[in-house]
Amino acid sequence: MKPKAPKESVQVEKQKIDIKSRLGYYSEFVTAYELAVIIDKNGGKLTSRSKIQKLKTDMNTRKNELLKLVPVSKRDELKRQESAGKVIAQQMFEDLILNGREGNDYHTLEFDIELTGDSAKGTAKADIVLTVKRPSKKQIVDQIAASLKAYKSPNINLANSTFTSLLQKLSGDKEYENKALSKFESIIFSAMVDEYMKLKKVKDRKLAEETVGSGAEFIKTQGSTMFNKLKEAGRKASKDSHKSVAKLIIKEFNDIYKADKKQVNKNLLSLIGMDGEDDFYAAVGTTGKQKVLSSRQSNEMKSFLESVKENKMNIVMEPSKSGNAIDVSVLLEKQEIAKSSISFTDTGIGSGGMTKSKGAGKTNFWFNVKKFL
């Protein structure tokens, strides 16, 4: 009997992405269910699609699907999403603006919880819409269209991507290219090939590229000692390039920003997940220790979002003190309202061999929302 062929890396990657998106989707169902429980405890009337038992059944269906997909070693992530749903539900309920100073008589109100993932299929930004009506007067008292996120820490990695891809995301131009940046992206693999040609006295570069990029086959035929020497050369080349990469990205960004500042600001918001007119909620922290970032409560976040709408937000990039990274300041006119950073990594150089797609120079674009909490 032939052994089963291993899954292609693309299929594995798709599965990872699918699990991640399903975990986030599950958290939305937890939020909806917990909202219904809170509303019911306070005497509010729930619409037919918002009944506790229905939402509980829907939530458990998603959980059972995930339990079949998520390995036991990763179940902590399931608990973190559940915890996020609970704290966000509580905050959403507390954020409702109902009768103001007169106090809230929940018995006279009707509450509708809509999970837009089922109805909008990607056309709406909000994940959950909570609508409160006063049936006697046929009026909407308040509505929260909430975009939901769950972050492990306030320092969020907005983009783990190649240098070119980062600028594509910030500019919104999928066709954006830069030959110098592309060269820096491949500098690790190129340096490893150079080192191999020098050590083995190989003159045919194409042959050297095929050999170095043969993955586990390289270690099998050339040995791990040789591979470690190549890794050292690749990482050194990557590290030596960081100052130049930082300067080039800053120059390229400034050109893009000058051409269309308003669009770049919007694209930054999109990376954070704060784009659109929706209310924004993020549970930040580990299971049971999460703080909720609410756009209805955080004055700092309100100023941040308003500055984008009014085109008063300015993004300034400068080399870090060492020059090996980029400091990013987000300003409301001249006052700093947020800080972030772009660092560089040699992602892909492991111990199992090298392929041409591995070892690319990449960025980590960190954005800290601590000031908003």
What pLDDT, on a 0 to 100 scale, did the predictor assign at position 126? 86
Q: Which of 5-14, 45-54, 221-230 has the lowest mean pLDDT?
A: 5-14
Q: Is the pLDDT of residue 357 over 80?
A: no
Strands of 45-46's sheet in order across: 45-46, 110-115, 128-134, 139-151, 279-284, 291-294
Mean pLDDT of 157-173: 94
| Confidence band of 136 (pLDDT split at 50, 70, 90) | confident
Q: What is each CA distance from 183 to 47, 157, 301, 305, 343, in whole angstroms?
A: 58, 24, 38, 36, 18
Picking from 239, 224, 216, the residue whose alpha carbon sits closest to that of residue 346 is 239
Which one is predicted more confidently, 179 or 272? 179
Q: Is the pLDDT of residue 335 over 80?
A: yes
What pLDDT, on a 0 to 100 scale, did the predictor assign at position 226? 96
What pLDDT, on a 0 to 100 scale, did the predictor assign at position 292? 97
d(CA 267, CA 251): 18
| Confidence band of 4 (pLDDT split at 50, 70, 90) | very low
Q: Is the pLDDT of residue 273 over 90?
A: no
Q: Is the pLDDT of residue 124 over 60?
A: no
Mean pLDDT of 1-7: 39
Domain boundaries, the chain: 9-148, 155-178+243-372
What pLDDT, on a 0 to 100 scale, did the predictor assign at position 120? 42
Residues with Cβ within 8 Å of 54's Cβ and at least 6 positions away in sequence, in order, are 48
Mean pLDDT of 169-178: 95
- What is the Cα gyration radius of the chain? 25
Q: Is the pLDDT of residue 308 over 90?
A: no
| Confidence band of 336 (pLDDT split at 50, 70, 90) | confident
Residues with Cβ within 8 Å of 169's Cβ and at least 6 positions away in sequence, in order, are 159, 161, 267, 271
What pLDDT, on a 0 to 100 scale, did the predictor assign at position 12? 37
Mean pLDDT of 62-86: 93
Mean pLDDT of 20-33: 93
Quote the percentage of the chain above a pLDDT of 70: 91
Q: What is each CA distance from 284 to 155, 161, 281, in whole angstroms?
A: 9, 23, 10
DSSP label of 215:
B
Q: Is the pLDDT of residue 121 over 50?
A: no
Query: What residue spans of the chain are helical by DSSP H?
Result: 9-41, 52-69, 75-95, 116-119, 163-171, 179-185, 187-200, 205-212, 216-222, 224-259, 261-272, 299-309
Mean pLDDT of 243-272: 95
> Are residues 347 and 360 in contact, defined by beta-carbon separation less than 8 angstroms?
yes
> Are residues 272 and 287 in contact, defined by beta-carbon separation less than 8 angstroms?
no
Which one is predicted more confidently, 306 or 12? 306
> Are residues 132 and 111 in contact, defined by beta-carbon separation less than 8 angstroms?
yes
What pLDDT, on a 0 to 100 scale, did the predictor assign at position 307? 85
Q: Is the pLDDT of residue 279 over 60?
A: yes
Picking from 359, 337, 142, the residue whose alpha carbon sits closest to that of residue 235 is 359
Q: What is the average pLDDT score of the chain?
A: 89
Q: Which of 13-17, 150-154, 195-199, 226-230 has the lowest mean pLDDT?
A: 13-17
Most confident of 94-103, 153-162, 317-326: 317-326
Q: Which of 10-14, 207-211, 322-326, 340-344 has the lowest mean pLDDT?
A: 10-14
